[in-house]
Amino acid sequence: NAGVTQTPKFRVLKTGQSMTLLCAQDMNHEYMYWYRQDPGMGLRLIHYSVGEGTTAKGEVPDGYNVSRLKKQNFLLGLESAAPSQTSVYFCASNALASTDTQYFGPGTRLTVL
């Protein structure tokens, strides 16, 4: 079991460029989440999904889009990157929503210049 994996681990973008972060889980979990972590801000939820083909906005969704075409994958897209999106991004999944343990990926460190 690989658990939750994230690709890539590091990325540097220029302002205005686009990219997609990939999250994959092999635990057959229904629920998947994208967070960003900034110093002093804790974890902030960007988007989440309660099942294949569904997505919903979290606390800070602006500037991001997501897709869940396959149950095991949850993609986070930045269409036009901004310096304010410099952050560490974490993907998580669980089987029973908020009453269940969340399993986190190792994170993607993104820098936007």
Interacting residues toward another protein by CB under 8 A: 4, 31, 33, 40-43, 45, 48, 50, 56, 58, 90, 92, 97-102, 104-107
Return d(Cα 85, Cα 51) in angstroms, integer.
26
Classify the phi-psi angles of 40: left when phi > 0, otherwise alpha if psi is within -120 to 50, otherwise beta. Answer: left
Q: Which residues contact 104 (CB under 8 A, 6 or more apart)?
A: 4, 90, 91, 92
* Radius of gyration (C-alpha) of the chain in whole angstroms: 13
Task: Output the smallest distance, CB 58 to another protein, in A.
Answer: 7
- Nearest to another protein of 17, 95 (CB atom): 95
Least CB distance to another protein at residue 84 (A): 19
Choice between 63 and 107, CB closer to another protein: 107
Amino acid at 18: S
Minimum CB distance to another protein, residue 15 (Å)? 26
Closer residue to another protein (CB): 48 or 85: 48
Distance CA(110)–CA(30), nearest Å, equals 26
Nearer to another protein, 85 or 93 (CB): 93
